[in-house]
Amino acid sequence: MADMDTNEIIALIRKEDPRFDRQAYAFVRDGLEHAVKELRKREADRAKVSSHLSGRELSDGLRAYALEQYGPLAKTVLNGWGIAETIHFGDIVYNLIDYNVFSKTEADRREDFEGVFTFEAAFVAPFQPRRRRLPMPSFAEAE
């Protein structure tokens, strides 16, 4: 499989698991690269920063990447590709692991991606208008 490019591998994966659009795989791949770069920037003072991310770290990185790329449309875009919850990130990651595109450690599990956040909270709530509470008039002011 070393001779195959990523697009060919994604085509093979999608024959076995057609739930996710090919763009979902590209998004997860690009989002992983972005998350690792951001981690290295934040932790530049450490001697060596691992490029391995846990399921939670990758989910959080993909959330940030989606918001950066698509803003208020992030949930709509991800849903259009078949991604509706964080476990779907894990499903995509593990499909790529099965084809040796990504790797994992002994401690990694698909379930690490389950319930990390809701898409409503991550992609919709940040764009909702904030309710501003107006001060209640006192009865003395009303007279």
Domain ranges of the chain: 21-125
Q: Over 90: is that where the pLDDT of 32 sits?
A: yes
pLDDT in tens, 89-130: 999 999 999 999 999 999 999 999 999 999 999 999 999 988
Higher pLDDT, 46 or 81: 81
Q: How far apart are CA 58 and CA 60, in angstroms?
A: 5
pLDDT of 34 > 80? The answer is yes
**Contact in structure between 35 and 64 (CB atoms under 8 Å):** yes
Residues 4-31: tens digit of each pLDDT: 798 999 999 999 999 999 999 999 999 9
State the average pLDDT over residues 33-42: 86
- Report pTM: 0.84
d(CA 83, CA 65): 14
DSSP string, 73-140: GHHHHHHHTT--SHHHHHHHHHHHHHTTSS---TT--GGGGTTS--HIIIIIGGGSPPPPPPPPPPHH
